Amino acid sequence: MKNHYLLFILLLIAGMVNAQDRDSLSTENSVANPGNSMIKINLLALPLKNYSLSLEHKLGRKITAGLGFRFMPSGGLPLMSTIKDLIDDPATDKQLDQFETSNTAITPEIRFYMGKQAMRGFYLAPFARYSTYKGSLPFEFDVNGTTQTMPLSGKLNTLTGGLLIGAQWKLGGRVYLDWWMLGPQYGSADGKLDGKRSLSADEQRELRAELQDLEIPFAETTTTVDANGARLDIKGPWAGVRAGLNLGIRF
Protein backbone atom coordinates (compact mmCIF):
# COMPACT_ATOMS: atom_id res chain seq x y z
CA MET A 1 0.00 0.00 0.00
CA LYS A 2 2.84 2.38 0.88
CA ASN A 3 4.56 1.66 -2.44
CA HIS A 4 1.33 2.44 -4.35
CA TYR A 5 0.97 5.70 -2.42
CA LEU A 6 4.56 6.71 -3.20
CA LEU A 7 4.07 5.91 -6.88
CA PHE A 8 0.91 8.03 -6.93
CA ILE A 9 2.77 10.99 -5.40
CA LEU A 10 5.61 10.72 -7.94
CA LEU A 11 3.16 10.54 -10.85
CA LEU A 12 1.30 13.55 -9.49
CA ILE A 13 4.52 15.55 -9.23
CA ALA A 14 5.49 14.54 -12.77
CA GLY A 15 2.11 15.70 -14.03
CA MET A 16 2.43 19.04 -12.24
CA VAL A 17 5.90 19.63 -13.70
CA ASN A 18 4.86 18.69 -17.23
CA ALA A 19 1.71 20.80 -17.04
CA GLN A 20 3.72 23.74 -15.79
CA ASP A 21 6.16 23.26 -18.66
CA ARG A 22 3.38 23.29 -21.27
CA ASP A 23 1.57 26.24 -19.75
CA SER A 24 4.68 28.38 -19.52
CA LEU A 25 6.27 27.58 -22.91
CA SER A 26 4.32 30.27 -24.71
CA THR A 27 5.05 32.81 -21.99
CA GLU A 28 8.77 32.08 -22.01
CA ASN A 29 8.97 32.11 -25.80
CA SER A 30 7.37 35.53 -25.82
CA VAL A 31 10.23 36.92 -23.73
CA ALA A 32 13.03 38.12 -25.97
CA ASN A 33 15.73 36.97 -23.55
CA PRO A 34 14.57 34.89 -20.57
CA GLY A 35 18.18 34.70 -19.35
CA ASN A 36 20.75 31.95 -19.28
CA SER A 37 21.53 32.13 -15.56
CA MET A 38 19.66 31.63 -12.29
CA ILE A 39 20.50 32.41 -8.67
CA LYS A 40 18.78 30.43 -5.90
CA ILE A 41 18.46 30.08 -2.14
CA ASN A 42 17.67 26.82 -0.35
CA LEU A 43 14.59 27.54 1.78
CA LEU A 44 14.73 24.27 3.74
CA ALA A 45 18.27 24.98 4.94
CA LEU A 46 17.34 28.24 6.69
CA PRO A 47 15.68 26.63 9.77
CA LEU A 48 18.92 24.65 10.25
CA LYS A 49 20.92 27.90 10.37
CA ASN A 50 22.47 27.08 6.98
CA TYR A 51 22.71 29.72 4.25
CA SER A 52 22.83 27.86 0.95
CA LEU A 53 23.12 29.79 -2.33
CA SER A 54 23.66 28.41 -5.82
CA LEU A 55 24.14 29.67 -9.36
CA GLU A 56 23.02 27.78 -12.46
CA HIS A 57 24.08 28.69 -16.01
CA LYS A 58 22.83 27.25 -19.28
CA LEU A 59 25.47 25.56 -21.44
CA GLY A 60 23.35 23.93 -24.12
CA ARG A 61 19.77 23.08 -25.05
CA LYS A 62 19.39 20.57 -22.19
CA ILE A 63 22.59 21.00 -20.14
CA THR A 64 23.52 23.48 -17.41
CA ALA A 65 26.43 23.95 -15.00
CA GLY A 66 25.98 24.94 -11.38
CA LEU A 67 28.01 26.08 -8.40
CA GLY A 68 26.69 26.07 -4.84
CA PHE A 69 28.00 27.62 -1.65
CA ARG A 70 26.79 26.73 1.86
CA PHE A 71 27.69 28.51 5.10
CA MET A 72 26.66 27.90 8.69
CA PRO A 73 28.01 30.40 11.26
CA SER A 74 29.46 29.19 14.53
CA GLY A 75 26.86 28.13 17.09
CA GLY A 76 25.18 25.17 18.75
CA LEU A 77 24.00 22.11 16.88
CA PRO A 78 20.76 22.52 14.91
CA LEU A 79 17.82 20.40 16.10
CA MET A 80 19.49 19.97 19.49
CA SER A 81 16.37 18.69 21.25
CA THR A 82 15.84 15.99 18.61
CA ILE A 83 19.46 14.86 18.87
CA LYS A 84 19.21 14.65 22.67
CA ASP A 85 16.03 12.57 22.43
CA LEU A 86 17.78 10.10 20.12
CA ILE A 87 20.88 9.82 22.33
CA ASP A 88 19.04 9.85 25.68
CA ASP A 89 22.20 10.13 27.80
CA PRO A 90 22.53 12.96 30.41
CA ALA A 91 26.33 12.98 30.30
CA THR A 92 26.38 13.31 26.50
CA ASP A 93 23.63 15.95 26.65
CA LYS A 94 25.85 18.09 28.86
CA GLN A 95 28.71 17.82 26.38
CA LEU A 96 26.42 18.73 23.47
CA ASP A 97 25.20 21.85 25.28
CA GLN A 98 28.76 23.20 25.19
CA PHE A 99 29.55 22.09 21.65
CA GLU A 100 29.88 24.79 18.97
CA THR A 101 30.23 24.13 15.26
CA SER A 102 30.31 25.83 11.87
CA ASN A 103 30.71 24.61 8.31
CA THR A 104 31.20 25.67 4.72
CA ALA A 105 30.78 23.73 1.47
CA ILE A 106 31.39 24.29 -2.24
CA THR A 107 29.43 22.14 -4.72
CA PRO A 108 30.01 22.15 -8.51
CA GLU A 109 27.58 20.16 -10.66
CA ILE A 110 26.49 19.42 -14.23
CA ARG A 111 22.74 19.02 -14.92
CA PHE A 112 21.17 16.95 -17.67
CA TYR A 113 17.49 17.82 -18.14
CA MET A 114 15.10 15.09 -19.28
CA GLY A 115 12.59 17.43 -20.94
CA LYS A 116 12.70 19.61 -24.04
CA GLN A 117 14.91 22.36 -22.66
CA ALA A 118 17.32 23.33 -19.90
CA MET A 119 16.22 24.82 -16.59
CA ARG A 120 12.81 23.13 -16.55
CA GLY A 121 11.61 19.61 -15.75
CA PHE A 122 13.27 16.58 -14.23
CA TYR A 123 17.06 16.35 -14.24
CA LEU A 124 20.05 14.25 -13.21
CA ALA A 125 23.06 16.11 -11.83
CA PRO A 126 26.43 14.51 -11.06
CA PHE A 127 28.16 16.66 -8.42
CA ALA A 128 31.21 16.96 -6.20
CA ARG A 129 31.33 18.59 -2.78
CA TYR A 130 34.19 19.89 -0.66
CA SER A 131 33.17 20.69 2.92
CA THR A 132 34.92 21.97 6.03
CA TYR A 133 33.42 21.44 9.49
CA LYS A 134 34.84 23.24 12.53
CA GLY A 135 34.00 22.50 16.13
CA SER A 136 35.00 23.18 19.73
CA LEU A 137 33.95 21.85 23.13
CA PRO A 138 35.25 21.54 26.68
CA PHE A 139 35.66 17.75 26.83
CA GLU A 140 34.94 16.41 30.32
CA PHE A 141 36.66 13.34 31.82
CA ASP A 142 36.79 11.85 35.30
CA VAL A 143 39.97 11.51 37.39
CA ASN A 144 39.57 9.75 40.74
CA GLY A 145 36.01 11.01 41.09
CA THR A 146 36.84 14.57 40.06
CA THR A 147 35.60 16.05 36.78
CA GLN A 148 38.35 17.56 34.64
CA THR A 149 38.03 19.49 31.39
CA MET A 150 40.15 19.50 28.24
CA PRO A 151 39.29 22.25 25.73
CA LEU A 152 39.24 20.60 22.30
CA SER A 153 38.86 22.29 18.92
CA GLY A 154 39.60 21.42 15.33
CA LYS A 155 38.19 20.83 11.88
CA LEU A 156 37.20 18.05 9.51
CA ASN A 157 37.56 18.27 5.72
CA THR A 158 35.43 16.05 3.47
CA LEU A 159 35.45 15.39 -0.27
CA THR A 160 32.47 13.56 -1.74
CA GLY A 161 30.79 12.88 -5.06
CA GLY A 162 27.21 11.96 -5.85
CA LEU A 163 24.18 12.11 -8.13
CA LEU A 164 21.30 14.50 -7.52
CA ILE A 165 17.80 13.69 -8.78
CA GLY A 166 15.52 16.72 -8.93
CA ALA A 167 12.91 18.77 -10.73
CA GLN A 168 12.66 22.46 -11.53
CA TRP A 169 9.69 24.39 -12.79
CA LYS A 170 8.64 27.96 -13.45
CA LEU A 171 6.31 29.64 -10.95
CA GLY A 172 5.79 32.81 -12.97
CA GLY A 173 7.79 35.54 -14.65
CA ARG A 174 11.43 34.85 -13.85
CA VAL A 175 10.72 33.00 -10.59
CA TYR A 176 11.47 29.25 -10.41
CA LEU A 177 11.26 26.45 -7.85
CA ASP A 178 14.03 23.84 -7.76
CA TRP A 179 13.40 20.66 -5.74
CA TRP A 180 16.43 18.56 -4.82
CA MET A 181 14.60 15.26 -4.30
CA LEU A 182 17.49 12.95 -3.51
CA GLY A 183 21.25 13.37 -3.77
CA PRO A 184 23.24 10.52 -2.17
CA GLN A 185 26.97 11.23 -1.86
CA TYR A 186 30.04 9.31 -0.73
CA GLY A 187 33.72 10.11 -0.23
CA SER A 188 36.40 10.58 2.40
CA ALA A 189 37.04 12.66 5.53
CA ASP A 190 40.23 13.82 7.21
CA GLY A 191 40.57 15.99 10.31
CA LYS A 192 41.71 16.44 13.87
CA LEU A 193 40.73 17.73 17.30
CA ASP A 194 43.36 18.93 19.74
CA GLY A 195 43.76 20.86 22.98
CA LYS A 196 46.57 22.22 25.14
CA ARG A 197 46.89 22.10 28.94
CA SER A 198 49.22 20.58 31.50
CA LEU A 199 48.25 17.02 32.46
CA SER A 200 49.43 14.79 35.27
CA ALA A 201 50.10 11.09 34.71
CA ASP A 202 46.65 10.18 36.08
CA GLU A 203 44.95 12.81 33.93
CA GLN A 204 46.75 11.56 30.83
CA ARG A 205 45.68 7.98 31.49
CA GLU A 206 42.01 8.80 32.07
CA LEU A 207 41.77 11.28 29.18
CA ARG A 208 43.37 8.79 26.80
CA ALA A 209 40.88 6.11 27.83
CA GLU A 210 37.90 8.46 27.38
CA LEU A 211 39.04 9.64 23.93
CA GLN A 212 39.70 6.08 22.79
CA ASP A 213 36.15 5.16 23.80
CA LEU A 214 34.67 7.77 21.48
CA GLU A 215 32.77 6.09 18.67
CA ILE A 216 32.83 7.90 15.32
CA PRO A 217 30.93 5.80 12.74
CA PHE A 218 33.07 4.36 9.90
CA ALA A 219 36.08 6.52 10.86
CA GLU A 220 39.50 5.50 12.10
CA THR A 221 40.77 7.55 15.05
CA THR A 222 44.25 7.89 16.52
CA THR A 223 44.61 9.30 20.03
CA THR A 224 47.74 11.06 21.30
CA VAL A 225 47.92 12.29 24.90
CA ASP A 226 50.99 13.65 26.71
CA ALA A 227 51.84 16.06 29.49
CA ASN A 228 51.08 19.08 27.27
CA GLY A 229 47.66 18.13 25.92
CA ALA A 230 45.77 15.78 23.61
CA ARG A 231 45.10 15.21 19.92
CA LEU A 232 42.53 13.07 18.08
CA ASP A 233 43.21 12.37 14.40
CA ILE A 234 40.19 11.30 12.33
CA LYS A 235 40.27 9.63 8.92
CA GLY A 236 37.79 7.49 7.04
CA PRO A 237 34.82 7.37 4.65
CA TRP A 238 32.11 10.03 4.60
CA ALA A 239 28.54 9.80 3.32
CA GLY A 240 25.48 12.01 3.21
CA VAL A 241 22.32 12.95 1.35
CA ARG A 242 21.73 16.24 -0.44
CA ALA A 243 18.16 17.58 -0.40
CA GLY A 244 16.42 20.94 -0.50
CA LEU A 245 13.80 23.26 -1.91
CA ASN A 246 15.20 26.32 -3.70
CA LEU A 247 13.61 29.55 -4.82
CA GLY A 248 15.33 30.98 -7.89
CA ILE A 249 15.41 34.11 -10.03
CA ARG A 250 16.39 33.74 -13.69
CA PHE A 251 18.34 36.52 -15.37
The string of pLDDT tens digits covering residues 81-99 is 776 676 666 666 666 778 8
Mean of the per-residue pLDDT values for the chain? 87
- What confidence score (pLDDT) does residue 76 get? 83
CATH architecture of 2-135+155-188+240-250: Beta Barrel (2.40)
Give residue 135's pLDDT: 94
How far is CA 243 from each of CA 81, 117, 246, rounded to the nearest angstrom?
22, 23, 10
The reported pLDDT for the residue numbered 219 is 82
Per-residue pLDDT at 241 = 95
Residue 98 has what pLDDT? 82
Task: Give dist(CA 189, CA 180) in Å, integer.
Answer: 24
In the predicted model, is pLDDT for residue 77 greater than 80?
no
Distance CA 213, CA 226 (A): 17
Judge whether residue 23 has pLDDT over 80. no
Ramachandran quadrant class, 172 (left: phi over 0; alpha: psi -120 to 50; beta: rest): left
Cβ-Cβ contacts under 8 Å for 25 (sequence gap 6 or more): none
Q: Which pLDDT score is estimated for 84?
A: 66
| Whether pLDDT at 17 is above 70 | no
Q: What is the dihedral of CA 85, 86, 87, 90, to 10 degrees?
A: 10
Q: How far apart are the first and last CA of the chain?
A: 44
* pLDDT given for residue 26 in this prediction: 47
Three-class SS state of 237: strand
pLDDT in the model for residue 31: 52
DSSP helix/strand/coil, 115: coil
pLDDT at site 7: 46
Angle at 55 between CA 54 and CA 57, to 5 degrees: 150
pLDDT (tens digit, 9 = 90+) per residue, 26-50? 445 545 578 999 999 999 999 988 9
Ranking 81-95, 120-134, 207-221 by mean pLDDT, the lowest is: 81-95
Instruction: Give per-residue pLDDT as tens, 225-234.
Output: 999 999 999 9
Q: Could you read off the pLDDT of 170-207 as tens digits, one per residue?
A: 999 999 999 999 999 999 999 999 999 999 999 999 99
Return the minimum-mean-pLDDT range out of 23-27, 121-125, 189-193.
23-27
**CA-based nearest residue to 189, from 223, 155, 165:** 155
In a 10 Å sphere around its CB, with 0-12 CB exposed, 13-18 middle and 19+ buried, how is residue 250 labelled?
buried
- Report DSSP letters for 138-174, one per residue: EEEEEETTEEEEEEEEEEEEEEEEEEEEEEEEEEETT
Q: What is the pLDDT of residue 99?
A: 84
The one-character DSSP state at 77 is P
Measured CA to CA, the distance from residue 19 to residue 50 in angstroms comes to 32
- Any residues with CB less than 8 A from the CB of 201 and at least 6 apart, and which? none
Res 3 pLDDT > 80: no
